[in-house]
Amino acid sequence: MQAIANIWRKARCSVRDFVADKRALAATEFAVIVPLMLVMFFGTVEFSSAVAIDRKVTLIARTLSDLTSQSTTLVDADMQNTFTASISVIMPYDATLVKGTISEIYIDANSIATVKWSRAGTIASGATQATLATSARNAGDDVTTIIPPTLLIPSSYLILSEAKYTYTPTIGYVLKSSVTLSDVSYTRPRQVTCVPYNGVPSTC
């Protein structure tokens, strides 16, 4: 009986000593909390960068349409300068990941919107000037569905600009894949009824 009591006493002491022993408590808490802290830290960094770039993409779209709408006529050199000035807004981020597109839209008497001309621009790695590229939009394309109803004014022209940026997280701890950030902007030609590009349209 005495032996059983001794065993019970020792067991109670061992449990009490174990509970009171806090030598590894900090290390255990650290091991549990660190993964959560890393997710919060890197998630904040990646999300903040994405938000900053998204804001710049919006500025690029607005700059493209604003500069174009102030023109009276455009040729390739003018278009190249417009893309160069607009895409440079993305600095200090990688400008080669930006693609801009400018299109002139005509809205006919039936409020049907079609593309009159369209041009895209990018900046190659190490280049200081934009390179003109073929747009995904072609003359004659019906774009009525992408124009806000309030802008579908019969017998009028619109400048549509589109900007896209492929955002790839530097660390990739939270966001594992790239995300396409994009925005559009609409403006009316300011000095003329329409803005001809390389003679298109020939008359407004």
pLDDT in tens, 19-37: 555 566 666 776 778 777 7
pLDDT band at 8 (very low <50, low <70, confident <90, very high): very low
Residue 59 lies in a domain: yes
Residue 30 lies in a domain: yes
pLDDT in tens, 74-95: 999 999 999 999 998 998 999 9
Domain count, the chain: 1
Is residue 104 a contact partner of residue 116, using CB atoms and an 8 Å limit?
yes
Is residue 106 a contact partner of residue 145, using CB atoms and an 8 Å limit?
no
CB within 8 Å of 96: residues ≥ 6 apart: 122, 123, 124, 125
Is residue 186 a contact partner of residue 158, using CB atoms and an 8 Å limit?
yes
| pLDDT at residue 178 tops 90 | no
Residue 12 lies in a domain: no
Residue 126 lies in a domain: yes
Residue 147 lies in a domain: yes
- Whole domain around residue 111: which residue ranges? 25-187
